[in-house]
A = this chain, B = another copy of it.
Amino acid sequence: MSVQERKERERAARERLIVATARELAEQQGWDAVTTRRLAERIEYSQPVLYSHFRGKREIIGAVALDGAAEMAAALRAATSTADGPRARVTALARTYLDFAARNPAVYDAMFELDGGLAFASEDTPQPLKEAFAALLESLGEVAGDGVHPALFTEVFWAAVHGLATLTRAGRLPPEDTEPRVELLVDRLAMV
Contact = CB atoms under 8 A, between A and B. Distances in A.
Interface of A: 112-113, 119-121, 148, 152-153, 155-156, 158-164, 166-167, 170-174, 177, 180-181, 184-185, 188-189
Contact of A156 (B155, B156, B164, B174): B164
A144 B160 CA distance: 16
Nearest to A120: B172
Given A148-B184, A162-B163, A188-B188, A112 B170 contact: yes
State the oligomeric state as a number of copies: 2
Given A162-B166, A166-B162, A188-B188, A155 B171 contact: no
A159 to B, nearest CB: 3
A167 B162 contact: yes
A177 B174 CA distance: 31
Given A159-B173, A188-B188, 5 more contacts: A148-B184, A156-B160, A156-B184, A160-B163, A162-B163
Given A159-B181, A167-B162, A112 B172 contact: yes
B177 A152 contact: yes
Given A177-B155, A184-B153, A172 B121 contact: yes
